[in-house]
Amino acid sequence: MKDVDPITLATIWHSFQSTCREMRHVVERTAQSYLMAHLKDLSTGIWLPDGSTVAVPVGLPCQYMGNRFGIQAIMKKFENDIAPGDVFLVNDPYEGHNTHLPDWGFYRPIFCEEELMFFTMVRGHQMDTGGSYPGGYFPNAYDIHAEGLRIPPLKVVAAGQDRTDLLEFIWANVRWPEAVKIDNYSMMAALKFSDDRITDMVRQFGRDTVKAGIAQMIARSEKAVRGEIATIPDGTYSGESATDDDGTELDKPVWVRLDLTVKGDELILDFSRSDPQTKGFINNVYAATYATSVTAVLIHFSPALADFHNEGSMRPITVLAPEGLVVNAKYPATVGAAPVAVGTQILEAVMEAMGKAVPMRSMAAWGKHRGCYTFALDSRSGKPYVRTTFDYDGSVGAVWGHDGPTGPCVLPTMAQVTRGNVEEAEIRFPWRILKTEIIPDLMGAGKWRGGCGIDWRAINEGGAGRIATGSSDGDVMLGKGAGGGYSVPPSRTFIQRDGKSMRIKPHRLVELQTGDVYIKLSSGGGGVGDPRERPVEAVLKDVRNGVVSLGVAQGVYGVAINSDTMEVDLAQTAKLRAAPPVKECDIAIDEELLSARVL
Amino acid sequence: MKQLTIDVGGTFTDCLCLDEAGVLHRFKASTTPSEPTKGVFAAIGKAAAFFNQTAPAFLAQVERIVHGTTLGTNALITRNGAKVGMITTQGFRDVIEMRRGIKNLHGSIFDQFVEPYEPIVPRYLRLPVEERIRYTGDIVTPLNEDQVRQAALQLVKEGCDAIAICFLSAYINSAHEKRAKEIVSVAAPGVYITTSHEILPVWREFERFSTTVISAYIGPIISHYLNELVRQLSLNQFTGSLMLMQANALVQTPEHCSERAVNLLDSGPAAAPSGALAVLPDRGQANVLSTDMGGTSFDICVLKNGIIPTTSENWVGEDRVAIKMVDLITLGAGGGSIAWIDSLGLLRVGPQSAGADPGPAAYGKASHATVTDANLVLGYVPSDYFLGGEMTVDVERSRQAIKKIGDHLNMSVEDAALAIWTTVNANMSNAIHEMCTKKGHDIRSFTMVAGGGACGAHAAGIARRLSIPEVVVPRVAALMSAFGMYNLDLGLEFARSWFQDRNKVRLDDLQALFNEMRTEAEKEFGKLGADISQLSYAPTVEMRYTGQFTDLEVELPGMEITDLTIDKLVQDFHKLHKQHFTYNLPWLGVEFLTFRLRVSVPRQSMQRLHVAEGGASRHIAHKAVRRVLFADGARETPVYDWDSLAPGDSISGPAVVVDRTTSVLVPEDFDCSVDPSTSLVLRLSSEASAISRRTSKKEFA
């Protein structure tokens, strides 16, 4: 193998990273979809033809971290029929190893001096993917076919020529074809961009140097990650997490269970004890489980490595998930909600196990995603509208060393989504928003506490319609804290009509009337570490800020504060903190008062 | 009469004086952070001494001072502002804390171990009051005036120096904020007050509230400083006009800026692009890459067709600032940037900087290897003429510091120094390329203007990487911002958010809205004694396709609103959309979001610049021959004295050109010529550019 000096190596490495970021810039500048252009529901990356990961700095983990399988599928199918200028399109979970149908992946083989050296990919959430319901998020689809159009590896551009017959067939099978077409060309333009950037770079350094550089990149990342794993005591650590139900078989939790074994500098993630695949739309195929769980492991390693993960980081990690389980679903299982459920549960199971293995990098669970889809009439325009938003979500969990911030949310996206503005929402939708504010006490306590729970309320000033709580979760099954930190408290959804509150569970579809007040009380994140070790000043600050009540300060954190003077009673505090730990105190939502209550 | 520009940076206070003969004189003093007026007067004192005058005698002959200061930026970034309280709409007191859900603003998704964002106003100082206005401007809940009074009293009791009043929908109906301000001024006399409709009358509450709170946070410091400066200037016989340089590259009076302190963020650095344009007076609507590399950072601005881009999508540190600011990208790369080895064994440079204190290893205080140390070892910056010999540097310390880096990489000191130089160039080039990809520019058609004291040693390296054909290093490179301040308009920006469907909007209402802004402008300019008939108006509309999410700001053909002008506006929107995003959707309707009016007094066009020379005579232009290190080995290289170069001179690489403020490297594959204003123009020599042309021309999207 050719030797590469460290400066050339760093230059090549950074060039791959910035090419990935710039591919995303191209899509953000040229796509019309809100999800892709603004919410970053979009991933880019660079792989070797054997599926090895070269660079993956940007994206949603489940869209690209398991992409080796997708590339291997393309290589197998098109073995001798891959040429410069080709573009492949894939969205099928079963033949293309994708997570769910709306995430379409475009792939381009990159040739340098006639040698196939790389694949680049852009994968993004499309406005529609066909199927029985718009948006591909329907809990009661009969099978994968009802969820949308399945696209196995398909050559849509041959040597620079669009195969318009195929593309038009695809667009004819989705809603809003003009819009989807713009987005597809935007993604293909980003691939063309990557081709130019990468071939330029290879021309500058030479193929052998670049290959040697990649080998070194992978070797260095592998060494660093193995070094991290080697510091973990050998043994088996377990974690588990469940979703409230699968959306079809109601009120029956579905479990993801993990046994994580550390052996020297290797990690084995064994999901064999997880529940069987379900009728509802929460199943993950193996590639999705692989992507999500590997990402969940990597975020526990040194943040200094964050920008440098590649194939080498993944090599020491093995993911076992027998076929037929909710973590390795067989055709024709439905997968619509896979990124959120059981994607979240896979992440939480890994976080729990890794937290036991590496306490100094432990992370608590986050408040669950609280998504709702509203379909109703905007009586101002007389037109129907669809509303989806992240505004109702609670907040992230704590990590060792830091409280969780209030506001960031949605674990499977690693908090890459943004919340909207009230002033924009009120113009766009016929709802007057009454409140978007912190709910005191509705988070997991800890030495580092979770971000706060959020109280979101609005009144429907538009016409009648329906609300689907399709991607909500966390009313019953609670995410865990870490290292003695408290769990994520439960969340609740209500409709207030004629002065009465009706509770709405996750994964349901309900009728909506004019004048209804919709209330989402969404929990914050879990805590890390024993709350009685939280610095007294931090507890006092939380009480002054009204995010922790005096009762919780005393009962959970062991800090006695005089409510008149707002001063800490040090003697009493010392006594409280010296006493044996109390049983974990439960926070629940009072369905009369619609606020958090200590049980 | 003379004109002055004064740029107070973090380390140095730069002063440029344009004398009666049209010659520019450069002066530099140290910044005095605890009492910034001291540094300003030190610089003025140096200028006065140069003209053999006392400061008052000198100032009496100055008709205009344009002043930029990083005081506001520094207070914000170092969290050294006022104690701010907030009075806000009940039910929405956590808007600024939730920060639209952003967790890790700058870093990788694989890094979840980040400190939580601390809002400027802690929750206990964010006090909710009953009031609510609908998006239409209708009042749903009247203002509870008693609660406002109580809130103000409580905030005073808590010791707040400033209060920000931030209500929902105040952009469309400011009645509640206005009334609340009256109540607060009575209940809390002497407290600095900001209201969201005055600071940024534009919809989207997070952005508006955040900006309003920041203005309150830096307001007391800024207004105290400006009062003091005005007082001392007038004590020193200054009777001319003092103008402050704002983030949007317009200048305004101290009175105006005291009330809108947030406008002074980036005051200073944001002038560099104006300077870059002024350096190229004959280029008209040139495509210019403005760069400014100082001790800690590298600012980039891309000017397509000679237009200075502004944006409201700004973050200063961790805080959102939604006023219009010059669109600068800042990278942690400067002369003081520290070289280090990361956990993968790779060389990294920056973003940590040794700054000016302790500074590079060569300064003798610390032992970090910095970019400046590398340049000293390589000979790109002469060790025997550092800052014109005003400062002695110890190259041996530089070598020792770099040796430590070299040992990790198995490299000699020289190779490691070259590696540091290459790496920082790569960082800067990548940032430029990424910015251009974001905006859709092809950088190979741009002229690079290399500003900042540190850029001269790197400009050619960056240009070579990016295939930029031409680099101009201005004679005033080291004082780029102060220079740019000569090239700014006096102006004001107005905005009104008003959500309207193109097909439903009443033109009379629109006309009334623009007339209202115009009347306000005339009133404001009238106060300054400006000739109203000379005002130039630039009305624009922020608009988008109905139901879509991408806003564009489009110019209105004029101040008259008719069906014709609105149709033209919509046509232009389709065109601009295609330009920006590569596609348009002409079958969709359009929505108007925010109406803006920029009013300015056009500046006098700048004459060609003449920089005072150092007094050296022509025959010693060729100072010396030094051993300088390049990628292919050491070379005996001539060193030229910039002061002695004359327009029309040309130099072929390799060469180093020095003066007392900066040092410029001309590599072997570059030619250098001296332009009429004695700026250096570096071009890839014809042979080298033939090679770079061979790399195929690329088009995308």
Domain of B34, CATH number, reads 3.30.420.40
Q: How do residues B106-142 score in pLDDT, each as one tens digit? A: 878 888 999 999 999 999 999 999 999 999 999 999 9
Tokens describing residue A515: 């004048």
Length of chain A: 599
Q: So what's the pLDDT on residue B699?
A: 30
Q: Which residue, among A434, A530, A514, has the nearest Cα to A482 in the 3D structure?
A: A530
Interface test with B, best of A309, A422, A594 (most B CBs within 10 A): A422
- Residue B392 resides in a domain: no
Q: Give the residue among A14, A31, A64, A178 at the shortest CA–CA distance from A416.
A: A64
CA distance A96 to chain B (A): 25
Task: Say how many domains are in chain B.
Answer: 3
- Give yes or no for B92 touching A (CB within 8 A): yes
Q: Do B63 and B182 fall into the same domain? A: no
pLDDT value for B687: 58
Of A182, A189, A423, the CB nearest to B205: A423
Domain-located, residue B7: yes
Q: Looking at the structure, do residues B170 and B59 belong to the same domain, yes or no?
A: no
Q: Could you say which of B110, B204, B409 has the minimum Cβ distance to residue A306?
A: B110
Please give the pLDDT value at position B21. 87
Determine, yes or no, domain membership for B286: no
Q: Are residues B170 and B241 in the same domain?
A: no
Residues of A in contact with B440 (CB under 8 A): 29
In a domain, B409, yes or no: no
| A380 in reach of chain B (CB within 8 A) | no
The confidence score (pLDDT) of residue B609 equals: 62
State residue B691's pLDDT score. Answer: 45
Give me Rg for the CA atoms of chain A.
25
Three-state secondary-structure class, residue A420:
coil
Q: What three-state secondary structure class fits A493?
A: strand
pLDDT at A326: 98
Put simply, whether B315 touches A (Cβ < 8 Å) is no
Give which of A14, A27, A29, A108 to mutate to test B binding, by max B Cβ within 10 Å.
Answer: A29
Does B211 map to a domain? Answer: yes
B89 plus B174 within the same structural domain: yes
Please name which of B526, B601, B609 lies closest in space to residue B3, comparing C-alpha atoms: B609
**pLDDT value of position B10:** 78
Tell me whether residue B212 is in a domain: yes
Which B residues 182-201 touch A at CB under 8 Å?
Answer: none
Last residue of a domain, one of B601, B626, B656: B601
Q: Among candidates A342, A290, A348, which has minimal Cα distance to A319?
A: A290
* Contact call for residues B536 and B601 (beta carbons, < 8 A): yes
B389 phi-psi bin (left φ>0, alpha ψ -120 to 50, beta other): left
Phi, psi of A154 (to 5 degrees): -140, 130
Question: What contacts B195, CB < 8 A, 6 or more positions away?
Answer: B164, B165, B166, B170, B174, B177, B178, B180, B181, B212
d(CA A353, CA A365): 12
Residue ranges of chain A with pLDDT lower than 70? 1-2, 135-136, 582-585
Lowest mean pLDDT among A335-344, B96-105, B457-466, B528-537: B528-537
> Cβ distance B313 to B551 under 8 Å?
no
Candidates B94, B138, B425, partner chain A, best to mutate (most A CBs within 10 A)? B94
State the Cα–Cα distance between residues A319 and A297, nearest whole angstrom: 11
Q: For residue B687, how many other CB atoms are within 10 A of its CB?
A: 8
Chain A nearest CA to B430, separation (Å): 7
Q: Are residues B241 and B208 in the same domain?
A: no
**CA B254/CA B68 separation, integer angstroms:** 11
Whether B103 sits inside 8 A of A408 (CB atoms) is yes
A interface mutation test: which of B92, B113, B466 has the most A CBs within 10 A? B113
Q: How far is A475 from chain B (nearest CA, A)?
A: 22
Higher pLDDT, A582 or B596: B596
Hey, are the CB atoms on B205 and A403 less than 8 Å from each other?
no
For residue B419, give the nearest of A7, A185, A220 by CB distance. A7
Which of B101, B411, B423 is opposite residue A419, by nearest beta carbon? B101
pLDDT at B410 over 60: yes
- Shared domain for B118 and B212, answered yes or no, is yes
pLDDT at B395 over 70: yes
Rounded to the nearest angstrom, the minimum Cα separation between B445 and chain A is 18
How far is it, in rounded angstroms, from Cα B188 to Cα B193? 9
Cβ-based burial of B417 (10 A; exposed 0-12, middle 13-18, buried ≥19)? buried
One domain, residues B189 and B102: yes
pLDDT, position B615: 42
CATH number, residue B554: 3.30.1490
Does the CB of B579 have a partner CB in chain A at under 8 Å?
A: no
CA distances from A527 to A242, A366, A454, A535, A560 (A): 19, 9, 16, 14, 20
Residues B93 and B181 placed together within one structural domain of the fold: yes
Structure tokens belonging to residue B607: 């004459």
**CB < 8 Å to A29, chain B:** 438-440, 580-582, 701
Predicted confidence (pLDDT) per residue in B12-42, tens digit: 899 999 998 888 898 988 888 888 999 999 9
Residue B232 lies in a domain: yes
pLDDT (mean) for B493-511: 93
Nearest C-alpha neighbor of A396 from the set A475, A484, A473, A488: A488
pLDDT value at position B386?
76
Residues of B in contact with A200 (CB under 8 A): 695, 698
**DSSP H stretches of helix in B410-536:** 413-439, 459-466, 480-484, 507-527
Residue B169 in contact with residue A423, Cβ under 8 Å?
yes
Paired residues of A502 in beta bridges: A495
Average pLDDT over residues B88-95: 98
Q: Are residues B33 and B107 in the same domain?
A: no
Neighbouring CB atoms inside 10 A of B157's CB total: 10
Q: Do B550 and A26 touch (CB under 8 A)?
A: no
A399-454 per-position pLDDT tens digit = 999 999 999 999 999 998 889 999 999 998 999 999 999 999 999 999 999 999 99
Which residues 132-151 of chain A have a CB within 8 Å of chain B?
none
Question: Between residues 490 and 529 of chain A, which touch chain B (CB distance below 8 Å)?
Answer: none
Domain encompassing residue B69: 2-75+224-264
Does position B524 have pLDDT exceeding 80, yes or no? Answer: yes
* B173 and B121 share one domain: yes
| pLDDT for the residue numbered B608 | 56
pLDDT of residue B618: 43
**Top-confidence residue, B604 or A14:** A14
pLDDT at B693 over 50: no
Q: Do A193 and B205 touch (CB under 8 A)?
A: no
Given B568, B601, B634, the domain boundary residue is: B601
Enumerate the residues of chain B whose CB falls inside 8 A of the CB of residue A451. 116
Task: pLDDT band for B397, please (50, 70, 90 cuts).
Answer: very high
Same domain, B58 and B89: no
Nearest residue, CB atoms, A29 vs list B135, B423, B440: B440
Domain with B188 in it: what CATH number?
3.40.50
Average pLDDT over residues B283-299: 89
CB-based contact, B100 to chain A, within 8 Å = yes
A and B: number of Cβ contacts within 8 A: 222
pLDDT number for residue A275:
98
On whether any CB of chain B is under 8 Å from the CB of A546, the answer is yes
What residues 428-447 of chain B have any CB closer than 8 A to a CB of chain A? 430, 433-434, 437-440
Residue B150 inside a domain? The answer is yes
Rounded to a whole number, what is the distance in Å from the CA of B303 to chain A's nearest CA? 18
Do B101 and B20 share a structural domain?
no
